[in-house]
Structures are given as C-alpha cells and as structure tokens.
Amino acid sequence: MGNLIANEYQGFEQIKHADEVGNEYWFARELAPVLEYLEWRNFSKVIDRAMLACKNSGFDIDDQFVEFNKLIEHGKGGKRHVIDYKLSRYACYLIVQNGDPRKEIIAIGQTYFAIQTRRQEVADYFNQLDENNKRLVIRGDIKQWNQMLAEAAHNAGVITNEEFAHFQNAGYMGLYGGETVQDIHHRKRLAPKQKILDYMNSQELIANLFRISLAEEKLRIEKIHSADAATETHNRVGQEIRQTIVRVGGVLPENQPTPEKSIEEIQKEQLKKLKSQKTLMLDE
C-alpha cells in the first residue's frame, strides 16, 4: 500500500485515467507512443489482434475496447476526426501481449498490466469478504509489515527497547491525534495482555497498515540514520495519514467502533469450522 511505482512503469501511470467511480482506463492514442508505436496503422493492427484474443477469451469486446471519434489537430491549424479507443486494464493487457516482442517496452508493459490486473483481482476478492474476514486479512498483512518496519527502524538506529517503544508510540500518536499505545489500550478497555491491533475494525486496521508500510518505505528510501530522526519520521507519517482522513471526510481511527470479537477469537472460530468441514469430507 505504500510502495512506489517503479520508474519503468511511469509512462503507463502518467496516461492512466479514472472515471467517477474509480475504474481505471487508458486511451489507445496515448498508449501507442508509450509502446513506441509511432504510426497508428501499425498500432491498430495490434489492437485488432488484441480484440480477437478478447473475443476468444469470452469477454465482450465492446466493454473492453470502447471505440469513439475524436477531433485532432492536423497540418497547419487544420483538424480532422480520428478513431480512438477507451481501453480497460484487460484490453491494455491483451494489447501488450500482442505487441512486438522485440520491443523492451512491450515486456515492461506486459509486467505492468499483469500486476495491475492481479491487484484488481485481489481488491475485488477482498471487497467480497465479510467484516471479520477483512480483519483477518489486514491483520496478517500488518504482522508482516510490522516485521519489515522493525527491521527498517533498527537499520535507521532504533536499537534499544526504550527507543523502539518511543518509535512505536510516535507513529500511533501521529495517527491518533496524540494518543499513545497505552492510551488506545485504555480507551478500548482491553485487558493487560490484549493487543490493540486485535481489537480494531477493518477501517482502523487499514489506516494502521498504511502508517506502517509508508513509514517503512520512508525510512528505507530516505536512508535515515538516527533514532530521533526515525521517530520523527514515523510521527510525521501518522500525522499525514490522519490529515488525509480528515480531508476526505473519513472517520478518524479513535472514533472507529471497537469490535466485540478479537482477531484471535475469529481465528479460533474459523479453524474450528474448517476442521469440522474436513471431518465431514472424511466421513463421506
């Protein structure tokens, strides 16, 4: 969630558009030069092959390749109508799959649109999950990113337990408007051994995942080399995310409801259910 787009993909990112509901699309006339096709007639042949592949894969061509006319400048101040296409992510993927394999940018495009397609598949799958399963998925991601953040912090000079506790609190204080880990723990009315991350809903977890991943990225990329600077960076990242939530009209993390069930309880229920299903299959 905080990774930078690789430099070689910037050409595709810069021409990406999004509609009012966030669906991404590209224009064929803008994609052609990025893929180093200088003549439209050559690129249109690639589009034709991509359309055929689209049909053979069972998708509706008109949904993926939306044809329209546009007015472009031509010659000395003249204008003319030309054909263009509004391309879905999948359409772009098919185009690069059918492009000139000798072009290095085609191979880069294949990777880029494969990654984008996979990201959307994951997002679609995630959105279909119920709240408890969303919490499980995000909590698992946070565990991995927290390990990466701890390593980045250590490399930046956060060494002692006291320094690390101060570093962790700084991130939470930035995101939670000054609340420390202990403050959050107390507000949620948790027992001493209960972890605050296990008693967050999916939206609160997402905010913290963003904090953790972005802080890890900044420590690593900016090559920070002191405990104080790392702590300040973590706090600043938390503040920036908090400001973003305010700006878009979202619910601040301290105002999110605390779930009744912990992540540990949900995991136990899921494992019990899974075991019972396996037993039934064996009995059959």
Residue boundaries of the structural domains of the chain: 7-128, 131-269
In this predicted structure, the answer to whether residue 281 has a pLDDT above a threshold of 60 is no
**Tokens 């984008």 found at:** 116
Looking at the chain, the whole-number percentage of residues with pLDDT higher than 70 is: 93
When pLDDT is averaged across residues 186-197 and rounded to a whole number, the result is 95
Quick one: pLDDT at residue 284? Answer: 47
Say yes or no to pLDDT of 283 above 60.
no
Is the entire prediction scored with pTM above 0.85?
A: no
Q: 11-17: long-range contacts at Cβ-Cβ below 8 A with a sequence spacing of 24 or more?
A: 11/105, 12/92, 12/109, 12/112, 12/113
- Lowest mean per-residue pLDDT among 140-149, 151-160, 268-277: 268-277
Average pLDDT over residues 159-168: 95
pLDDT tens sequence across 66-118: 999 988 776 666 788 899 999 999 999 999 999 888 889 998 888 888 888 77
pLDDT band at residue 43 under the 50/70/90 scheme: very high
Question: Residue 29's pLDDT is what?
Answer: 96
Residue type, 157: G
**pLDDT for res 125:** 81
Rounded mean pLDDT of 222-246?
Answer: 95
Q: Is 251 helix (H, G, I), strand (E, B) or coil?
A: coil
Quick check: 114 and 47 in contact, CB under 8 A?
no
Q: Does the pLDDT value for residue 209 go beyond 70? A: yes
188 versus 121: the higher-pLDDT residue is 188
Query: So what's the pLDDT on residue 279?
Result: 52
Between 33 and 276, where is the model more confident?
33
Task: Specify whether the CB–CB gap between 87 and 95 falls below 8 A.
Answer: yes
Q: Tell me which of 174 and 144 has the higher pLDDT.
A: 174
Residue 135 confidence (pLDDT): 92
Handedness of CA 253, 206, 12, 94 (dihedral sign): negative
> What pLDDT shows up at residue 5?
42
Instruction: Return the pLDDT at 123.
Output: 77
Stretch 197-221: mean pLDDT: 95
Q: Mean pLDDT score of the chain, rounded to an integer? A: 89
The per-residue pLDDT for 224 is 93
Check whether 240 has a pLDDT greater than 90. yes
Instruction: Give all strands (DSSP E) within the chain, no chain letters.
Output: 17-18, 24-27, 65-74, 78-87
CA–CA gap between residue 159 and residue 231 (Å, rounded) = 12
pLDDT of residue 4: 38
Of 123 and 192, more confident = 192
CA 19 vs. chain centroid, Å, equals: 18
pLDDT higher for 22 or 210?
210
